[in-house]
Structure 1
Amino acid sequence: MLKTAHKNIRQLNLSELEQYFETLGEKRFRARQVYEWLWLKQAHSFEAMTNLSKELRAKLTENFSLPALTVDATQYSADGTIKSRFRTQDKHLVEGVLIPTDERKTACVSSQIGCSLSCKFCATGYMDRKRNLEFDEIYDEVVLINQQSERVYNKKLTNIVFMGMGEPLLNYKNVLHAIERITSPDGLGMSPRRITVSTAGVAKMIKQLGDDNVKFKLALSLHAANDTKRNEIMPINETNNLKALIEALNYFYKKTGNEITFEYILFKDFNDSIKDADELIRICRQVPADLVNIIEYNPIDAARFEKPEENTVNEFMAYLERHRVNARLRRSRGKDIDAACGQLANKDQL
């Protein structure tokens, strides 16, 4: 008999559920009913599975757990951004953000509780990594943010970005499993082309994405276009330098043909000069990147960085444009709330 005592039922696939029901002498179609409750109807208790008998629901309760994320705190920005702090079954806190525009409703989701990479400009980088999020917890983030979008904007999510707390490629298995569930017809049914996974740069795992022939988009959090500066703000660059990342990104593109984006936060008097722009252009010439997102910095108390003056940003953007780099300026959202990644989860209270 399949050992299932107090196992998270969402860790079982459909065939494993069928096997379990067979051991109870139940019909196989009961497994499909439960599977639909778990993924399509997003039930968070066995009691909610009303087309099952009370006896069968009691048996499931006896043998399985059904942990789920809950919303612990929510902040609403004047610009429409909604930031949520979710609580896990084991009392950890993790963040997710709904970013609305007229054309899109984007969920920014986390992949880890805390982070081990210690990027100097990121609020999450000043937190310890507690653990990876399980694939079903990542799925719950998307479900809860989608419910917010439907409730506040009467529209479903159109896009998902893995740009929240943690490094997605250091939780590789769970992130890919979550995306499989999110894109599955018996999950949320979202197109993988509307999902972007952002990495600080784990060259080996970028190549693994290529070998696994993933269908989603990839973004590299670049933020500095030479190794000296990148080492200073992103310690991961010491073991995954720009040469290794350029090679990995080209390998990924050759294998998948999927869209690649560079993310580049501008920091005052650090990476915002014309010389920095030239170095960024040289990187762009070596990778078939579709877009460079130039991002306005959201300052945090723990870091010394500031955002540049407006004229510096304009000159930087104009220089990229003159050199035919497809760059887009991303204004910071949620300035009136704890918008920087990790700020809300790191607060003792609202």
Structure 2
Amino acid sequence: MSKRQQNIRTLSLAELEDYFLSVGEKKFRAKQVYDWLWLKPVQSFDAMSNISKDLRQQLSEDFTFPALSIDTTQHSSDGTIKSRFRTIEGHLTEGVLIPTEERKTACVSSQIGCSLSCKFCATGYLERKRNLSFDEIYDEVALINQQSLEVFDKKLTNIVFMGMGEPLLNYKNVLAAIDKISAPDGLGMSPRRITVSTAGVAKQIKHLGDDKVKFKLALSLHAANDKKRHEIMPINDTNNIQSLIEALNYFYKQTKNEITFEYILFNNFNDSLEDADELIKIYRQVPADLVNLIEYNPIEFAKFTKPAEEKVDAFMQYLEKHKVNARLRRSRGKDIDAACGQLANKGK
């Protein structure tokens, strides 16, 4: 009976060295292969051009290499690039490169589909197929970084886990991916330039505090009382606003890391000055750095609409008047369904 093949990217450099010595190869081959696995985003052993054909064949017999590949790419008129990635077994997930003058940001996914069913989000209407593995998440970032270098001649400056899926329901893989992304033998990016966004899993937010993570945290709040939040985000049933306030305070106490509130404005739902007052009360109970007000991007499944510009301005000014550090985040990539809440693997 043949042995079960191991994913080669679960091996450390030292374990790869042991493997090459065991098959009668020189130890330095391990570093060559390790660089192909992590520093040059290739999708197969065959692409490892400085390794002999026989050795590549041996590797393919002994290991799997389930790398993500780019299935399709769409370019927005504003410079945003959306990529649909294909897993080794044919599942699809999406990631976005968002360029500005100062930043090149990768918005990455952590799951194939999502189980949370948020009413305003296209991904929430998809079935969750499975979690992405840590190396698949790493591939998303590496491939988007390659795009950034090719198109803009600049490396990624920031990463946000705001794509498909709930990162804290894929806790272990997300943290392992961030470890590798920020490692010197990975992409070497500072964890301070990485933001993990959660719909609010209180227990796992506390877990992040216990693990003393170094990255930033964003909470997708989107409504400032439990009744409204329950209507649009079913996760609020088991993770109400008070439990999230407690979890965020615990996270901050343990890490001192930056916390942001994300708040999408929906017309005649959460955009009144009374809603702003409730948001201010929550903001004052947490050492948050920022409230990100987000433009709503309509999707075909949901009935929500975007508020008029005057209403958005009034909401923003009210927050600023009450000493809330708020920023209005304009959506990018709307024409290719790459904006916030629009990722849905369209055009399969």
Please give the TM-score of this superposition, normalised by the length of structure 1. Answer: 0.95
| CA deviation profile, 1:299-328 (whole Å, cap 9, x unmatched) | 001001111011000000000000000000
Structure 1 unmatched ranges of 5 or more: none
Correspondence for 1:150 = 149
Moved >6 Å (runs of 4+): none
Correspondence for 2:67 = 68
Structure 2 unmatched ranges of 5 or more: none
Give the secondary-structure state (helix, strand or coil) at the position aligned to 1:156. Answer: coil
In the TM superposition, residue 344 of structure 1 has moved relative to its aligned partner by 5.3
| CA deviation profile, 1:50-85 (whole Å, cap 9, x unmatched) | 333333222111111212212112221111111111
Q: Which moved more, 1:239-248 or 1:56-65?
A: 56-65
Correspondence for 2:248 = 249
Give the secondary-structure state (helix, strand or coil) at the position aligned to 2:45. Answer: coil
Correspondence for 2:237 = 238
Correspondence for 1:130 = 129
Give the partner amino acid of 2:86.
Answer: R
- Whether the aligned pair in 1 keeps the contact of 2:122 and 2:342 (CA below 8 Å) is yes
* C-alpha distance in structure 2 between counterparts of 1:60 and 1:190, whole Å: 29
Question: Where do 1:194-209 residues align within 5 Å?
Answer: 194-209=193-208
- Whether the aligned pair in 2 keeps the contact of 1:95 and 1:342 (CA below 8 Å) is no
* C-alpha distance in structure 2 between counterparts of 1:21 and 1:339, whole Å: 43
Q: Which moved more, 1:142-151 or 1:193-202?
A: 142-151
Question: Where do 1:158-177 residues align within 5 Å?
Answer: 158-177=157-176
* C-alpha distance in structure 1 between counterparts of 2:67 and 2:128, whole Å: 20
Give the secondary-structure state (helix, strand or coil) at the position aligned to 2:50. Answer: coil
- Whether the aligned pair in 2 keeps the contact of 1:105 and 1:155 (CA below 8 Å) is yes
- Whether the aligned pair in 1 keeps the contact of 2:297 and 2:340 (CA below 8 Å) is no
Give the partner amino acid of 1:186.
Answer: D
- Whether the aligned pair in 2 keeps the contact of 1:93 and 1:345 (CA below 8 Å) is no
Correspondence for 1:210 = 209
1:25 aligns with 2:24: yes
- Whether the aligned pair in 2 keeps the contact of 1:268 and 1:305 (CA below 8 Å) is yes
Give the partner amino acid of 2:199.
Answer: A
In the TM superposition, residue 338 of structure 1 has moved relative to its aligned partner by 1.2
In the TM superposition, residue 193 of structure 1 has moved relative to its aligned partner by 0.5
Correspondence for 1:184 = 183
- Whether the aligned pair in 2 keeps the contact of 1:40 and 1:188 (CA below 8 Å) is yes
| Structure 1 residues 71 and 98, CA gap change in structure 2 (3 angstroms) | same
* C-alpha distance in structure 1 between counterparts of 2:339 and 2:330, whole Å: 13
In the TM superposition, residue 341 of structure 1 has moved relative to its aligned partner by 5.3
Q: Which moved more, 1:156-165 or 1:64-73?
A: 64-73
| Structure 1 residues 169 and 4, CA gap change in structure 2 (3 angstroms) | farther
Give the secondary-structure state (helix, strand or coil) at the position aligned to 2:336. Answer: coil
Correspondence for 1:59 = 58
- Whether the aligned pair in 2 keeps the contact of 1:123 and 1:341 (CA below 8 Å) is no
- Whether the aligned pair in 1 keeps the contact of 2:122 and 2:343 (CA below 8 Å) is no
| CA deviation profile, 1:267-306 (whole Å, cap 9, x unmatched) | 0000000000000000000000001100000000100111
Give the secondary-structure state (helix, strand or coil) at the position aligned to 1:336. Answer: helix
- Whether the aligned pair in 1 keeps the contact of 2:117 and 2:233 (CA below 8 Å) is yes
Give the CA RMSD over aligned residues.
1.5
Give the secondary-structure state (helix, strand or coil) at the position aligned to 1:18. Answer: helix
* C-alpha distance in structure 2 between counterparts of 1:40 and 1:154, whole Å: 17
Give the partner amino acid of 1:224.
Answer: A
| Structure 1 residues 255 and 17, CA gap change in structure 2 (3 angstroms) | same
In the TM superposition, residue 342 of structure 1 has moved relative to its aligned partner by 6.6
Give the partner amino acid of 2:260.
Answer: T
Give the partner amino acid of 1:146.
Answer: N
Correspondence for 1:97 = 96
| Structure 1 residues 72 and 55, CA gap change in structure 2 (3 angstroms) | closer
| CA deviation profile, 1:231-259 (whole Å, cap 9, x unmatched) | 11000011011111001101100000100
In the TM superposition, residue 340 of structure 1 has moved relative to its aligned partner by 4.1
1:310 aligns with 2:309: yes
- Whether the aligned pair in 2 keeps the contact of 1:86 and 1:93 (CA below 8 Å) is yes
- Whether the aligned pair in 1 keeps the contact of 2:94 and 2:345 (CA below 8 Å) is no
- Whether the aligned pair in 1 keeps the contact of 2:83 and 2:95 (CA below 8 Å) is yes
Give the secondary-structure state (helix, strand or coil) at the position aligned to 1:286. Answer: coil
* C-alpha distance in structure 1 between counterparts of 2:153 and 2:26, whole Å: 39
- Whether the aligned pair in 2 keeps the contact of 1:67 and 1:89 (CA below 8 Å) is yes
* C-alpha distance in structure 2 between counterparts of 1:202 and 1:91, whole Å: 29
* C-alpha distance in structure 1 between counterparts of 2:263 and 2:342, whole Å: 20
| Structure 1 residues 45 and 181, CA gap change in structure 2 (3 angstroms) | same
Residues paired across the two proteins, number: 347
Q: Which moved more, 1:320-329 or 1:31-40?
A: 31-40
In the TM superposition, residue 8 of structure 1 has moved relative to its aligned partner by 1.7
| CA deviation profile, 1:97-153 (whole Å, cap 9, x unmatched) | 111111101000000000000000000000010000011111111111111111211
Identity %: 76
Q: Which moved more, 1:197-206 or 1:331-340?
A: 331-340
Correspondence for 1:120 = 119
